[in-house]
Amino acid sequence: MLKRERSPVFAALAIQAVVFGGLYLLRPMVEGAMGAPVPLLWLALAQGLIAGIATRGFGFSVPWVIGQVVAPPLLLVALALDLPSWIFPVILILLILVFWNVAVGRVPLFLTNRTTSEAILKQLPKKKGLHMADLGSGLGGTLRYLAKNRPDARFSGLETAPLPFALSWLLGRLSGVKNLDFRFRDIFKEDLSELDVVYCFLSPVPMPQLFDKAKAEMKPGSLFISNSFEVPGHKPHKIVKVDDRRQTKLMIWRM
């Protein structure tokens, strides 16, 4: 049975809480030494910096570190602007809807650029009736591009972040492309046996489990393509270097 990673959200919040408590206890001593109150902005910046360092020390990825660093000063700025109280729950709900997969599976929202989509198109087998799935399809831009350029193939996107899924479904309908569908579905619950190509742009966390699932379910000769993230212990059969700003690498395994 496939196991899911525990959410790091509570750990990140715990780090912020501990740092806040430490600064709260140290503040009187610092103010006594300075002979003046410590500005709240200094405290917020210090909390963000210390929390970011601690977060990195616990092995969190760079996006988590950045979030930890900027959260306290941003919160202070928001409070200083005296925004309406309803703004904060609305922002929180929107963040949850967009970044749901970060909280649940430590998978950030990565978007595939057009140059990489073009490179993926060149790697697709010239097979009529080809079926490809993007596991974690985000806003669906890659699949819309591929579906328009390969009308003889079928393309499916799987996404569980509510807002990106809703937008990808809507944009897919508005595009008028008929060989494309999006599903609100956990990638670990999808049957991969009928797919000719699987593409994913996730994070290092789910790659070992996902690759094992692909090896067990995908048919011989099918392709497993990972954008940027390796599978430990499994050397890809082919690496395609994309000429874009981030020097993307597509790692391709033949099942």
DSSP codes of every residue in 2-55:
PPPPPPSHHHHHHHHHHHHHHHHHHHHHHHHHHTSPPPHHHHHHHHHHHHHHHH
Q: What is the mean pLDDT of residues 84-100?
A: 60
Q: Is the pLDDT of residue 150 over 60?
A: yes
Burial class (CB in 10 A: 0-12, 13-18, 19+), 144: buried
Q: Which residue has the higher pLDDT, 76 or 208?
A: 208
SS3 call for 159:
strand
Please give the mean pLDDT across all residues of the chain. 85
CA dihedral 37, 18, 93, 86 (to 10 degrees): -30
| Range scoring the smallest mean pLDDT among 57-66, 110-119, 120-129, 194-203 | 57-66
The residue ranges of every structural domain in the chain are 9-83, 114-254
**Model confidence pLDDT, tens digit, residues 6-35:** 456 667 778 888 898 888 888 888 888 888
| Range scoring the smallest mean pLDDT among 16-30, 90-104, 158-172, 233-247 | 90-104
**Whole-Å CA distances, 201 to 20, 71, 174, 234, 249:** 35, 26, 24, 17, 11
Q: Is the pLDDT of residue 104 over 60?
A: no
**The CATH number of domain 114-254 is 1.10.10.10:** no
Confidence of residue 2 (pLDDT cuts 50, 70, 90): very low
**What phi and psi values does residue 106 have, to the nearest 5 degrees?**
60, 40
Confidence of residue 245 (pLDDT cuts 50, 70, 90): confident
For residue 143, what are its two tokens?
Answer: 């699949």
